[in-house]
């Protein structure tokens, strides 16, 4: 029973990936902005001291060493020292501190 469930989940993920790839191709061919159509996260850094993330949904984890965000398309992990969320609203979050790594999951 578990094997069947795992195969079904795997098939669903593959179908979802194909759908996302198709949307990416359509978006590119029409010249539309990916962040608007696909909800892709826009990550902008100023050196290693400031980070702005647009199109995020929620804050999953927040410590002075790690900030984990759920974006519309993936999870984003920011690691560093003395990390601080300067502000956030429904569109953007600003993180400051000594940013050492940004990881997409």
State yes or no: pLDDT of 33 exceeds 60. Answer: no
**Does the global pTM surpass 0.75?**
no
Q: What pLDDT shows up at residue 102?
A: 95
State yes or no: pLDDT of 57 exceeds 70. Answer: yes
State yes or no: pLDDT of 45 exceeds 70. Answer: yes
State yes or no: pLDDT of 35 exceeds 60. Answer: no
Pick from 67, 43, 66, 40: which is nearest to 53 by CA? 43
Per-residue tokens: 33: 């902005």
Q: If pLDDT is split at 50, 70 and 90, which confidence band does 41 have?
A: confident
The stretch 29-38 carries a mean pLDDT of 60
Q: What pLDDT shows up at residue 72?
A: 80
Cβ density class 6-23: b for 16+ within 10 Å, e for less? eeeeeeeeeeeeeeeeee
């Amino acid at each position: 029973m578990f094997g069947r469930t795992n195969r079904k989940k795997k098939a669903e993920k593959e179908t979802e990936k194909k759908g996302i790839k198709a949307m990416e191709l359509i978006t590119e061919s029409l010249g539309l902005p990916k962040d608007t159509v696909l909800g892709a996260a826009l990550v902008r850094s100023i050196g290693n001291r400031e980070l702005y993330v647009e199109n995020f949904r929620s804050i999953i984890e927040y410590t002075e060493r790690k900030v984990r965000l759920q974006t519309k398309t993936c999870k984003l992990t920011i690691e560093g020292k003395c990390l601080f969320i300067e502000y956030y609203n429904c569109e953007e979050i600003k993180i400051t501190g000594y940013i050492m790594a940004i990881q997409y999951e």
